[in-house]
Amino acid sequence: MGGGHSSLSISQGSTTCLALSCASSPFQSQESQSNSLNFCSATRFLEPHLPKSSKIFIPKSLLRCSKVHKMQTQVGDSVKSIVDPHDIDPKLVQNLAYDALVWCSLRGLLVGDRNSEKSGTVPGVGMVHAPVALLPMSFPESHWKQACEVAPIFNELVDRVSQDGEFLQESLSRTKKVDPFTSRLLEIHSKMLEINKIEEIRLGLHRSDYMLDEQTKLLLQIELNTISSSFPGLGCLVSELHRSLIQLYKEHIDLDPNRIPTNNAVNQFAEALAKAWNEYGDPRAVLMFVVQSEERNIKTLAEIDALGELRQDGTLVVDGQAVAVVYFRAGYAPSDYHSESEWKARLLMEQSRAVKCPSISYHLAGTKKIQQELAKPNVLERFLENKDDIAKLRKCFAGLWSLDESDTVNDAIEKPGLYVMKPQREGGGNNIYGENVKEALLKLQKEGTGSDAAYILMQRIFPKISHSILMREGIPHKEQTISELGIYGSYLRNKTEVVINQQAGYLMRTKVSSSNEGGVAAGFAVLDSIYLV
């Protein structure tokens, strides 16, 4: 979702409705348009499905390019590009691009083509390669280890915050007065508190996003996503693509494929879903994927309302199928709720004993306002006891402020380029930058309606600008870029037993440095991997 120097958030417009695909991974990305979404055996679906890495060979006669040596990768604490694209022979770039396209086609590093009418309606028709970088992005190994180390701590933090209903309601009390969407989420949460609804089995599939600030050399968190964390499937494949290209062109590019970290996010997500299904304890029940209505699949939130029912024992039944686990690929944005029907469906699912990923309390725990509240002094101590864990989280907190802190607001008006203004929204394209920050703050002050509670201010992060080769529609482009690292986490608790709590792979996104926007689907960013230096 995004922030810092610019929002690199992926458009969350994932699959559209409900149900489960056995034919392809639902984690491939929001742009993946599988249309074979039907209820099926959870056991069958969750079997490992990624094929083994295969090597692509091309005749050596095509490789008539000079060898490109990696640059000095680290000077002090400043990381440089591992390969300068301007030093790469154009012929080698074309060969890399060609083989990358072949690899993407063979291994399913593909997304639906919006220009094709049959995309999403006929399996395998209307597909194009995902936007990718041709070579991995250098990243300090020390910061990589730091991001992986705090992932389980953030998982535990989300779980504990989710159980503190008073904290969630109080922290978001001003926001709900001026933000109808947050208000409706809090209304559902409040109803669950009134009936003392307890989520005995709690599943979280999270992604914490970071940028490496060039001036301070600190790894700073942009946001923590607790709903619809995108691209674990395609992200894994990009890591494999880069290892394959480096191995194939090892005589021309002096890089070590083993310096690209193993990325098993899709299988770790699947494992967490499988174990949640198993903890539910009904082998006849299914996993249900809730996806967005504008895609061309089977069921939407509205159809869950029409076809769903709640039995007296709390079992959620949709279209005759008992549901063990609900995985939300939709429901994070106001545009997902076209009418009261969608809200009724969300309430119905929340009232059930099905495992929700996320539950309404997990959803609220990932909001921007809660992120800002947790950054206040002495708040983490409300949820965590281990002082070392608290220190590790605080080390990666960027500056975060509410708009009722007048000194900070005045400073942001005077120096708007140092801040990002964030509304309580997911999905990218919502943040405010530069002179627009000043204009928005002055407007809110003039109105005096309390609408400032719908926003927070965040320190703007300035990552290092690198050189990359980005490829869209089969055409490679040499660009000046910045990158954002997302670390996935999976968490599963059944009552007092923690079944899973782990770092679960990563997502690297790279975009042109001149753009504030960063969505892959929107055409700004591409999928990338990291090269440890």
Whether the pLDDT of residue 32 is over 80: the answer is no
184 is in an annotated binding site: no
460 is in an annotated binding site: yes
**DSSP tag of 398:** P
Closest CA to 178 of 458, 406, 442, 449: 449
430 is in an annotated binding site: yes
Q: Specify whether 427 is catalytic.
A: yes
How far apart (Å, rounded) are the C-alpha atoms in residues 460 and 454?
Answer: 19
60 is in an annotated binding site: no
Whether the pLDDT of residue 283 is over 60: the answer is yes
Closest CA to 423 of 395, 457, 398: 457
Whether the pLDDT of residue 111 is over 80: the answer is yes
CB 433 within 8 A of CB 516: yes
Whether the pLDDT of residue 499 is over 70: the answer is yes
| Residue in 202, 243, 464, 509 annotated catalytic | 509
Has residue 9 been placed in a domain? no
Q: Specify whether 509 is catalytic.
A: yes
Closest CA to 465 of 477, 483, 489, 441: 483
Span 231-277, pLDDT tens digits: 999 999 999 999 999 999 999 998 999 999 999 999 999 999 999 99
| Residue in 6, 24, 230, 501 annotated catalytic | 230
Domain closes at, from 443, 460, 477: 460
Do 525 and 425 fall within a single domain? Answer: no
Span 151-162, pLDDT tens digits: 999 999 999 999
Do 138 and 201 fall within a single domain? Answer: yes
- The CATH number of the domain where 445 resides is what? 3.30.1490.50
How far apart (Å, rounded) are the C-alpha atoms in residues 86 and 278?
Answer: 52
Instruction: Provide mean pLDDT across the span 205-209.
Output: 97
User: Which position has the higher pLDDT, 389 or 517?
Assistant: 389
How far apart (Å, rounded) are the C-alpha atoms in residues 203 and 340?
Answer: 27
Has residue 75 been placed in a domain? no
Whether the pLDDT of residue 103 is over 50: the answer is yes
User: What's the gap between Cα 122 and its chain centre?
Assistant: 27
How far apart (Å, rounded) are the C-alpha atoms in residues 68 and 302?
Answer: 55
How far apart (Å, rounded) are the C-alpha atoms in residues 181 and 185?
Answer: 7
Q: Specify whether 230 is catalytic.
A: yes
| E strand or H helix that includes residue 12 | none
How far apart (Å, rounded) are the C-alpha atoms in residues 231 and 227?
Answer: 13
Span 51-84, pLDDT tens digits: 333 333 333 333 334 455 454 444 344 445 577 7
Q: Specify whether 223 is catalytic.
A: yes
Whether the pLDDT of residue 47 is over 80: the answer is no
196 is in an annotated binding site: no
149 is in an annotated binding site: no
Instruction: Provide mean pLDDT across the span 116-121.
Output: 73
Residue type, 362: Y
Do 290 and 311 fall within a single domain? Answer: yes
Please give, one letter per residue, the 3-state secondary structure of 343-387.
HHHHHHHHHCCCEEECCHHHHHHCCHHHHHHHCCCCCHHHCCCCH
Number of domains in the chain: 2
Has residue 371 been placed in a domain? yes
Three-state DSSP state, 525: strand
Has residue 116 been placed in a domain? yes
155 is in an annotated binding site: no
Q: What percent of the chain has pLDDT over 90?
A: 70
How far apart (Å, rounded) are the C-alpha atoms in residues 261 and 500?
Answer: 21
Has residue 69 been placed in a domain? no
Q: Specify whether 184 is catalytic.
A: no
Show the tokens assigned to 243. 């290892």
Has residue 429 been placed in a domain? yes
461 is in an annotated binding site: yes
509 is in an annotated binding site: yes
Has residue 524 been placed in a domain? yes
| Residue in 70, 329, 422, 493 annotated catalytic | 422
458 is in an annotated binding site: yes
Instruction: Provide mean pLDDT across the span 472-489.
Output: 94
268 is in an annotated binding site: yes
Q: Which residue has the tokens 């869209």?
A: 472
Domain of residue 433: give its range: 399-460
pLDDT of residue 295: 58
pLDDT of residue 23: 31
428 is in an annotated binding site: yes
Do 269 and 318 fall within a single domain? Answer: yes
pLDDT of residue 517: 63
pLDDT of residue 429: 66
Do 357 and 498 fall within a single domain? Answer: yes
466 burial class (0-12, 13-18, 19+ CB within 10 angstroms)?
Answer: buried
Q: Specify whether 207 is catalytic.
A: yes
Q: Which residue has the tokens 């008539």?
A: 64
Q: Specify whether 436 is catalytic.
A: no
pLDDT of residue 37: 27
Whether the pLDDT of residue 397 is over 70: the answer is yes
Q: What would the DSSP string read from start to end of 405-442? A: -HHHHHHHHH-GGGEEEEES--SSS--B-THHHHHHHH
Report residue 154: phi and psi, to 5°. Answer: -65, -40
Do 472 and 331 fall within a single domain? Answer: yes
Whether the pLDDT of residue 2 is over 60: the answer is no
pLDDT of residue 119: 73
How far apart (Å, rounded) are the C-alpha atoms in residues 366 and 210?
Answer: 15
247 is in an annotated binding site: no
Has residue 296 been placed in a domain? yes
Residue type, 75: V
Instruction: Provide mean pLDDT across the span 438-448.
Output: 91
pLDDT of residue 523: 66
Do 337 and 479 fall within a single domain? Answer: yes
Do 262 and 318 fall within a single domain? Answer: yes
**What Cα–Cα distance (Å) separates residue 364 from each residue in 73, 306, 343, 509?**
41, 26, 16, 25
Do 242 and 386 fall within a single domain? Answer: yes
Virtual torsion, Cα 393, 12, 301, 190, nearest 10 deg: 30
Virtual torsion, Cα 194, 226, 162, 373, nearest 10 deg: -110
Residue type, 63: L
Whether the pLDDT of residue 38 is over 80: the answer is no
Three-state DSSP state, 485: strand
Whether the pLDDT of residue 389 is over 70: the answer is yes
Do 229 and 374 fall within a single domain? Answer: yes
Whether the pLDDT of residue 45 is over 90: the answer is no
Domain closes at, from 431, 460, 489: 460
The predicted model scores a pTM of: 0.84
Domain closes at, from 434, 460, 486: 460
Do 485 and 424 fall within a single domain? Answer: no
Span 310-359, pLDDT tens digits: 999 999 999 999 999 999 999 999 999 999 999 999 999 999 999 999 99
| Residue in 32, 155, 225, 244 annotated catalytic | 225
Q: Which of 24-38, 92-106, 190-204, 383-397 has the lowest mean pLDDT?
A: 24-38
| Residue in 207, 243, 369, 438 annotated catalytic | 207
Q: Which segments within 434-474 are labelled E, that is strand?
A: 455-459, 466-472
Q: Where are the alpha helices (DSSP H) in 108-179?
A: 141-162, 165-171, 173-178
Do 283 and 223 fall within a single domain? Answer: yes
Q: Chain-wide mean pLDDT for the chain?
A: 84
Q: Which residue has the tokens 């280890």?
A: 145
